[in-house]
Amino acid sequence: MPSEPPALHAPARLLAAVEHLNVTVRMPDGEPALILDDVSMNFASGRCVGIVGESGSGKTTLGRVLAGLPGPGLTVEGSVRSHPRTGFMFQDAVSALNPVRRVSWQVDEALRARGVPRAERAALRLEYLAMAEVPEPEALQRRYPHELSGGLAQRVLLATVLAGQPELIIADEPTSALDASTQSQIVALLRRLMDEQHLGIMLITHDLAVAAHTCDELVVLYGGQIVEHGPTDQVLRTPAHPYTAALLRALPSFDRPPGHLMPVPGAPPRVSSDRPPCPFSPRCERATDLCHLERPRQIRRTGTTVLCHHPIGAPA
């Protein structure tokens, strides 16, 4: 049976942590290149941590390492402490489901892995589908993945994750390719499950609006480095790193005429064995010679940390 919801305001428990995590890949010239660079952070029960940044910043790699799925060809160094009951929601829900198996089989696979007897699976399967807010689960469990909409596939994938009774859920872009209404439903569902089940959630997203409405704290990744980390509201209202501020300026705003977006200049860094001490320095309006010569140190502020020689709020 699904576990009973915990008592309200249960104390947070440390579920997972990475300390001084480095992930490298061997380049064609034989030299190692960093994908994640000295990353340290914790994940606790009842908390949603958002991981944001452009494509190629290392978001998915961080999630896969934490789930014990780093991928071939990668070298992982540093401390990684993962919870044994960690569920992973892959980015493309339809592709993550077995295309030749019905929904019922998908959920049962997680129940079989838990050792649930066959006689108990049918009732539990419907409970987990209902928990994921799958409409008419009795009928829908007979469908195949190609018969599902994107939103339904995402809910079925969530049901399979919940069937494993996870303590920590890693959700990789769970709202991508969904319409705005379905996005808000999925986000609200994840938040409700976190509150009711006292789960920890790592939400990987490129959508700052989704992060703002869902996450308790925000981690901004750039070039594999954590450039800013703190409470979501504080990071978004008073960004300290020039990259965070540039991401916020790129969002549509009622304060600007339609069509006048402010994209981040330049392009994200490629994975390479030759990278500047500060990966953002080629695109940064506050960069000085120091940024091209010396790696920045982490600066601790009230409630937040920033990795920058010239953070916003300090003299340029």
Q: Among the three residues 165, 185, 208, which one is the final residue of a domain in this structure?
A: 165
- Asked if residue 170 and residue 43 are part of one domain, the reply reads yes
- Asked if residue 153 and residue 74 are part of one domain, the reply reads no
- Asked if residue 218 and residue 80 are part of one domain, the reply reads yes
How far is 71 from 57, CA to CA, in rounded Å? 16
Instruction: Mark the ranges of the chain whose per-residue pLDDT is less than 70.
Output: 1-10, 253-260, 315-316
- Residue at 313 is within a domain: no
- Residue at 9 is within a domain: no
* pTM, 2 dp: 0.91
- Asked if residue 81 and residue 213 are part of one domain, the reply reads yes
What is the domain extent for residue 157?
A: 92-165
- Asked if residue 187 and residue 134 are part of one domain, the reply reads no
**Counting every residue, how long is the chain?**
316
Instruction: Please check whether residue 85 is in contact with residue 114, taking contact to mean a CB–CB distance below 8 angstroms.
Output: no
Instruction: Please check whether residue 59 is in contact with residue 141, taking contact to mean a CB–CB distance below 8 angstroms.
Output: no
- Residue at 315 is within a domain: no
- Asked if residue 67 and residue 32 are part of one domain, the reply reads yes
- Residue at 257 is within a domain: yes
Residue % of the chain over a pLDDT of 90: 76
- Residue at 21 is within a domain: yes
pLDDT tens-digit profile of 250-273?
887 666 666 667 888 888 888 887
202 by DSSP, 3-state: which?
Answer: strand
Sort strands 200-204 and 48-52 into parallel, antiparallel or unpaired.
parallel
Question: Counting runs of H as helices and runs of E as strands, what totals does the chain give?
Answer: 11, 11
- Asked if residue 76 and residue 218 are part of one domain, the reply reads yes
The CATH number of whichever domain residue 81 belongs to comes to 3.40.50.300
- Asked if residue 284 and residue 237 are part of one domain, the reply reads yes
If one counts the domains in the chain, the total is: 2
Burial pattern 74-100, b for ≥16 Cβ within 10 A else e, equals eebeeebebbeebbbbbeebbebbeee
- Asked if residue 235 and residue 220 are part of one domain, the reply reads yes
- Residue at 80 is within a domain: yes
Q: Among the three residues 107, 132, 165, which one is the final residue of a domain in this structure?
A: 165
DSSP state of 37: E
Q: Among the three residues 150, 165, 180, which one is the final residue of a domain in this structure?
A: 165
DSSP state of 95: H
- Asked if residue 299 and residue 241 are part of one domain, the reply reads yes
- Asked if residue 190 and residue 50 are part of one domain, the reply reads yes
- Residue at 269 is within a domain: yes
- Asked if residue 81 and residue 179 are part of one domain, the reply reads yes
- Residue at 299 is within a domain: yes
